[in-house]
Chains A and B, each alone.
Chain A
Amino acid sequence: MSIYTEPIRQTPAPTARPTVRVKPVMPEHHYLNSPKGIMSWIYTVDHKRIGLMYFFAIMMFFTIGGIFALLLRTELLHPERDFMTARTYNQFFTLHGAIMVFLFIIPSIPAALGNFVLPLMIGAKDVAFPKLNLASWYVYVVGSLFAVFSIVTGGVETGWTFYTPYSTTTNGSVISMTLGVFILGFSSIFTGINFIVTVHKLRAPGMTFFKMPLMVWALYATAIIQVLATPVLGITMVLLILERALGIGIFDPAMGGDPVLYQHFFWFYSHPAVYIMILPGMGIISELISAMSHKKIFGYTPIAYSSLGIALISFLVWGHHMFTSGQSELSATIFSFLTFLVGIPSGIKVFNWMATLYKGSISFAAPMLYTLTFMFTFTIGGLTGIFLGALSVDIHLHDTYFVVAHFHYVMMGGTVMAFLGGIHYWWPKIWGRMYDEFWAKIACAFVFVGFNMTFFTQFILGSKGMPRRYYSYLDQYQPLHGFSSIGSYILGLGFVVMAVYLIHSIRNGKIAGKNPWGALTLEWTISSPPPTHNFDETPKLIYGAYDYDRVMTDGENITFKDVTTVSNGDDHNGNGHNGNGSKRAKIEN
């Protein structure tokens, strides 16, 4: 066969979809409808249902946190007081931060989307400990109730970081909020343990570590951070509660304690937590960029290792939050240097994604639009992180809007954009129905424009010296603040549009079929929505997760570009291909 003598190169996938395309139908039984009844959801141990329950819970908190954000931006329209007191403003930004960090963004990708796709991607029937998985959801609910309780009983105005000594002396309800954070930590740890064991022990036969989809690598690295960092936050929160309730003096300078020690312990968790947020987002982007450009991922191994690299470095850079808090010059210098190291694995990822796009056959559906948004905004977020990591520049920029803009570019421009891309990409798998592509593009445009209007402005505000966490400001900042607030309304509008068409599509969307994107990871080989036990029989790997140079599929038909057309599940052809595959591999070597 002549194809084997040709030089091996990446060929763009033909635009035509493979052979006969039958009209997709909804499967009769799937995880959403069997078993039926509310009790079957309350006691479910199915990772897909738990993922979905997480999804609804976090979206509720995302809405609440978003409303707080819009209220803050409205107050900031004018320099003078509009409708809140300084104390209300402090409570609102604290609640915005605490809700978005602990209740939305940390569980967003791992516990909601990750729970849904991880077992499917490695060909497992469930996560390793399904009951623990359900427990983690209930623990999350209990933790969030504590947070809600603290909102209704006086709120918290310390900022989401709960810095001592203010947090131990203020009269807000700090204890219930920090207890909520402590409990939420358990939820995060349970998910982490589950993912680590699932990845190690439940991979389908033939799914070696280096054949796993990159999303799984990212979730694995995330799980490691969750397990290693969260307990330290736990003990810090316990001591903070003891300090506040009993006055044990550990963080109280009047009693020989050290408030800076609190900051060290807090950031020892909370900096790695930033990577709990961004790493799974990077995993999603790795999936999307390959699937939506129908091209083999460029640099699989470096992307996989860079996830672990980020996980490792994340534990060594917490001091860069404290350049102005009175740590020694030596440790500040070391932390500054270590901070720059984060740029290396992040850069590896971004450049590999860009190289994947090169000569791909790119589809500009919503998942891809969010992927491109991610690459744009995350790169800005990452580069401004280098500014802040530089000691001398940070002295100027510390606690200004520049910092606010930076972490929103990473958290929202990074994680949330990846999350939105992931939601659109797996939406047909979750519900069996497509969202409306036209409205998705409109919403994405709103989100992109609104986001950049809101937060790019804040880079300028910050570099001009506007401090963060102030409810009023000098007149000279008004034009920029006004522009930023209008941007936030556009952003909010984008989310409203998105909510409408996504909810509408759950019942009325076009039936998606097994594999609407022509993607090659295992979750697309089963029906949408998936059956209750995922795989009727143990899945066989007959192609790699990113073999777009070789394979085309719509779920039903598989076309091997180098061999003849075979249909899924036919043993003879599978074996026949087996031979060809190894022959090809031999030639490549």
Chain B
Amino acid sequence: MNSPDTAETVSVKTGDNDSHDHSAEGHGNGHGHGPAHLQHHFTDSEQQADSAKLGMWVFLVTEILLFGGLFCFYAIYRAWNPEMFYNAHKVLNVQLGAFNTVVLITSSLTMALAIRSVQMNKNTQALINMGITIALAGVFLVVKYFEYEHKFHEGQLPGRWYSYEGLQGTNPHIFFSIYFAATGLHAIHIILGMSFIAWVMVRTAKQEFSSIYYTPVEMAGLYWHLVDLIWIYLFPLLYLIG
């Protein structure tokens, strides 16, 4: 039995009439002949950039699934204790949450602008934009710190540390377990994102990037947008939904 596909393997192809974008022209390209950023196992820069992008997107999928687990916990416990979740969301500070949302969205904008600056060979401008991004991320964390501190003070804490008495409904500590797990994990991602951007800034300052090669800046941007996006889901789920 020969299916069409296996029959096709019988016919001989050497790549000339093949539709691959990275075809055979790159003999020995990575043996010192290509541009400095090109690693030895890639045929050309385009293949390298494509690979990096695909890899980053797949990595972002894993991040979404990581948080997906937490969203799932949220959905299940909310379904079991709807009243408690309704009451508990009221003790969160919507003003501060909304402020932080604006801060993060703005930081995503400056990050996107930074990528554009690198693409146009304006490295100083890119550094400024990334600097603003990191600063805004810092603002986010400071605001988060004050929110956390307030909750510690009030005893609105996860699990067996919970001591707040102003909430109606069953098991209110579960809400704060999920709140702290989700926002805490998100805060860790903010810090990781800041480090990622800082690393890219150092490399930008060393003039390693230009309109020809800027993949790491783009990757940092993608990661940062994801961190932002997760907050955009966390904010309404925890603070707004009544």
Query: Interface majority SS on B: helix, strand, loop or mixed?
Result: helix
Interface residues of B (CB under 8 A from A): 1-3, 5-15, 18, 20, 22-24, 26-28, 30, 39-43, 47, 50-51, 54-55, 58-59, 61-63, 65-70, 72-73, 76-77, 81, 158-161, 170-171, 173-174, 177-178, 180-181, 185
In the complex, which residues of chain B have a beta carbon less than 8 angstroms from the beta carbon of A27? none
Q: Are B160 and A249 in contact (CB under 8 A)?
A: yes
In the complex, which residues of chain B have a beta carbon less than 8 angstroms from the beta carbon of A125? 30, 40-41
Report if A544-B170 is in contact (Cβ < 8 Å); known contacts: A230-B62, A248-B158: no
Q: Are B41 and A126 in contact (CB under 8 A)?
A: yes
Report if A196-B58 is in contact (Cβ < 8 Å); known contacts: A255-B173, A581-B12: yes
Query: How far is A121 from B174 in the complex, measured between Cα atoms in Å?
Result: 51
Query: How far is A481 from B76 in the complex, measured between Cα atoms in Å?
Result: 44
In the complex, which residues of chain B have a beta carbon less than 8 angstroms from the beta carbon of A296? 6
Q: Are B69 and A249 in contact (CB under 8 A)?
A: no
In the complex, which residues of chain A have a beta carbon less than 8 angstroms from the beta carbon of B47? 201-202
The smallest beta-carbon distance between A161 and chain B, in angstroms, is 17
A246 at the interface (CB under 8 A from B): yes
In the complex, which residues of chain B have a beta carbon less than 8 angstroms from the beta carbon of A8? 2
Of A71-79, A143-151, A408-416, A545-553, the one contacting chain B is A545-553
Q: Give chain A interface residues in 161-191, CB to chain B under 8 Å.
A: 189
Q: Mark A231-246, 1 if CB is under 8 A from B, else 0.
A: 1101110110011001
What are the 7 tightest A-B residue pairs by CB atom distance, in nearest-first order? A544-B9, A205-B15, A256-B171, A235-B69, A581-B12, A585-B11, A125-B41
Q: Could you say which of A129, A301, A543 contacts B6, with CB atoms under 8 Å apart?
A: A301
In the complex, which residues of chain B have a beta carbon less than 8 angstroms from the beta carbon of A550? 10
Q: Are B62 and A189 in contact (CB under 8 A)?
A: yes
The smallest beta-carbon distance between B75 and chain A, in angstroms, is 11
Q: Are A231 and B69 in contact (CB under 8 A)?
A: yes
Q: Could you say which of B10, B20, B69, B72 contacts A588, with CB atoms under 8 Å apart?
A: B10
The smallest beta-carbon distance between A472 and chain B, in angstroms, is 37
Which residue of the partner chain B has the closest CB to A300?
A: B6
Apart from A130-B41, A193-B55, A250-B159: 4 A-B pairs, beta carbons within 8 A: A211-B9, A235-B66, A249-B173, A300-B3
In the complex, which residues of chain A have a beta carbon less than 8 angstroms from the beta carbon of B171? 249, 255-256
Query: How far is A122 from B5 in the complex, measured between Cα atoms in Å?
Result: 17
In the complex, which residues of chain B have a beta carbon less than 8 angstroms from the beta carbon of A193? 55, 58-59, 62
In the complex, which residues of chain A have a beta carbon less than 8 angstroms from the beta carbon of B63? 231
In the complex, which residues of chain B have a beta carbon less than 8 angstroms from the beta carbon of A11? none
Q: Give chain A interface residues in 358-413, CB to chain B under 8 Å.
A: none
Q: Could you say which of A249, A300, A574, A584 contacts B5, with CB atoms under 8 Å apart?
A: A300
Which residue of the partner chain A has the closest CB to B24?
A: A205
Q: Mark A129-169, 1 if CB is under 8 A from B, else 0.
A: 11010000000000000000000000000000000000000
The smallest beta-carbon distance between A552 and chain B, in angstroms, is 15
**What are 28 A-B contacts with C-beta separation under 8 Å?**
A125-B30, A130-B41, A192-B58, A193-B55, A197-B51, A197-B54, A201-B47, A201-B54, A202-B47, A205-B20, A227-B58, A228-B62, A232-B66, A234-B66, A242-B158, A242-B177, A246-B158, A248-B173, A250-B77, A256-B171, A256-B173, A299-B3, A540-B14, A540-B24, A541-B14, A578-B14, A581-B11, A584-B11
